[in-house]
Amino acid sequence: MTDGQLFLLVLVAVYLGECLTLVPRDAVVLLASLGARWRVGFPSALMGSAKLGMAFGNPVPPLGRTLFCQSWPFSVSPDAIYGYTALTAHPEGRAEQSGRFWPFDLVRTVSAEEKNVLVNGEKFCRAVSAPSAAAVAAFIRGLARMPHGNRQAAIERALHDVFDTRGVSVRTGEWLGRERGLRLLGNAVFVMVFAVCPLVAAGYGLWSTWPYLMAGLLALMIATAVALARAHRAVYPAQKGDRVLSVALAATVPTISIRACDYLSRDLLAGFHPLAAAHALLPPEAFRSFSRRILLDAREPIRPECPSTEPGEVECESWYRGRLRGEMESFLTAQGVAPGDLVAPPVPRDASSAGYCPRCEGQFTQPEGTCGNCGGIPLRPF
């Protein structure tokens, strides 16, 4: 293997690493190839941990689109916050959670450190993005400061807002209007790095052509950085620090320049519930299928619903889950989807199917028993 081939191989490895994004395992990934329909994905547990998973963006032109969203990674009630939630959309179950419990009377400081939310200096939960962590921290801080009697209405209002489909449509509209030129430039950098440069160097020699190749690549990267700066300023006007870092990287690192669209899209829907994002982007049948998964989990979460037996923690988890489920069902009804019809029993797979799990819909030959994959949820007969 020549030095040039080795360098290209290393560059490919670095680029594939740039296509990977580490996100909380309870995040939902919305993916689409250019011109294709949106679909739902989940962070890979094989390339992550009990808390985090890897999301892999399409590495080849036309590069595709990737959005992340997340339900609140904590439970809350008028009395307390709890670094645990029973609900999860991930097929492999809940992510590991901090389990920190704080009555509001004991909350002294709330801050965000990158994607982590800290309460009284201790890690409380992890959000899907740094702006989302900052928003969660501000929300908890506001609740802690307000009178107890005002908290329930504030929590319910905030839960209602995360299902704002109009807000999702506005955000995605702003993004789509800005990312087309950026995507074109990212694809151009890809072709320059992985096609034009190797072919020209192989045909005419690297020493005689590198100044011209470098000039062409640098021009494309600077154009990409300028386009990213303009688009980022329009979509995220308040995130100046992130913008400066992203633009600097796009102007100097070709693998990051190729993925500039990811820097624009990854935080786009971080403040919305995955159901609201799915309604705005997925085809109707895909939305119904995803909604069924979410609602089944809300009605029959993995057992035990709460890992603690402390009354305050049990009450906080139950209160929040009940309010969130109510908002889910109200949202689905407003979209013309009847929750009762959505969670109707599955069709038996064959004559041997006598029972099923009301959460994962696994089918069993016995009408009674429990589902081991869902923590012991009782089976229901067909």
Q: What is the pLDDT of residues 350-364, one digit of tens each?
A: 988 999 999 999 999
Neighbouring CB atoms inside 10 A of 158's CB total 15
Picking from 265, 289, 320, the residue at the C-terminal end of a domain is 265
Given a contact cutoff of 8 angstroms between Cβ atoms, the answer to whether 146 and 158 are in contact is no
Q: Can you give the pLDDT at residue 216?
A: 94
The 10 Å CB-count burial string (b at 16+, else e) for 197-228 is bbebbeeeeeeeeeeebeeebeebbebbbebb
> What is the helix (H) or strand (E) element at residue 381, kind and residue range?
strand 380-381
**Phi and psi, residue 56, nearest 5°:** -110, 115
* Domain, as residue range, for 183: 3-69+166-265
Over the stretch 152-187, which tens digit does the pLDDT of each residue have? Answer: 999 999 999 999 999 999 999 888 888 889 999 999
Calpha distance 277→282 (Å, rounded): 8
Q: Stretch 103-128: mean pLDDT, rounded?
A: 95
Closest CA to 234 of 182, 277, 189: 182
Picking from 242, 265, 288, the residue at the C-terminal end of a domain is 265
Average pLDDT in the chain: 92
Number of domains into which the chain is organized: 2
Q: What is the dihedral of CA 364, 368, 372, 374, to 10 degrees?
A: 90
Q: Stretch 271-280: mean pLDDT, rounded?
A: 94
SS3 258: helix
Provide CB contacts within 8 A for 36, sequence distance 6+.
none
Q: Give the pair of three-digit tokens for residue 371.
A: 């589902």
- Length reported for the chain: 382
Judge whether 65 lies within some domain.
Answer: yes
Question: Partners of 23 in the beta sheet?
Answer: 53
Judge whether 224 lies within some domain.
Answer: yes
Given a contact cutoff of 8 angstroms between Cβ atoms, the answer to whether 295 and 339 are in contact is yes
Over the stretch 12-46, which tens digit does the pLDDT of each residue have? Answer: 888 988 888 888 889 999 988 766 789 999 998 77
Q: Give the pair of three-digit tokens for residue 334.
A: 């407003």
110-114, 136-140, 143-147, 262-266: the lowest-pLDDT one: 262-266
DSSP state of 216: H
Judge whether 96 lies within some domain.
Answer: no
Q: Stretch 194-200: mean pLDDT, rounded?
A: 91
Q: Stretch 270-287: mean pLDDT, rounded?
A: 93
Judge whether 99 lies within some domain.
Answer: no
Judge whether 149 lies within some domain.
Answer: no
Judge whether 320 lies within some domain.
Answer: no
Question: Over 80: is that where the pLDDT of 206 sits?
Answer: no
Judge whether 270 lies within some domain.
Answer: no
Same domain, 41 and 174: yes
DSSP state of 351: T
Kindly indicate the confidence band of residue 122, based on its pLDDT and cuts at 50, 70 and 90.
very high
Q: What is the dihedral of CA 290, 17, 262, 161, to 10 degrees?
A: 40
Same domain, 58 and 170: yes
Q: Stretch 317-332: mean pLDDT, rounded?
A: 97
Calpha distance 96→151 (Å, rounded): 28
Calpha distance 119→111 (Å, rounded): 7
Helical spans, DSSP H, in 112-271: 130-145, 148-161, 165-191, 197-204, 206-235, 240-252, 254-258, 260-265
Picking from 221, 236, 265, the residue at the C-terminal end of a domain is 265
Question: Over 80: is that where the pLDDT of 48 sits?
Answer: no
**Phi and psi, residue 95, nearest 5°:** -80, 160
Calpha distance 268→358 (Å, rounded): 33
Q: Can you give the pLDDT at residue 174?
A: 85
| Residue-wise DSSP of 18-81 | HTEEEEETT-EEEEE-TTSPPEEE--BSTTS-SSEEEEE---STT--EEEEE---SSEE-SSEE
HEC readout, 265-286: HCCCCCCCCHHHHHHHHCCHHH
As a whole-number percent, the residues of the chain with pLDDT over 70 amount to: 98
Q: Can you give the pLDDT at residue 34?
A: 67
Q: Stretch 332-348: mean pLDDT, rounded?
A: 93
Judge whether 235 lies within some domain.
Answer: yes
Question: Over 70: is that where the pLDDT of 261 sits?
Answer: yes
Closest CA to 77 of 322, 320, 298: 320
Q: Is the dihedral of CA 258, 264, 270, 275 positive or negative?
A: negative
Provide the CA 264 distance to its chain's centre, in angstroms: 14
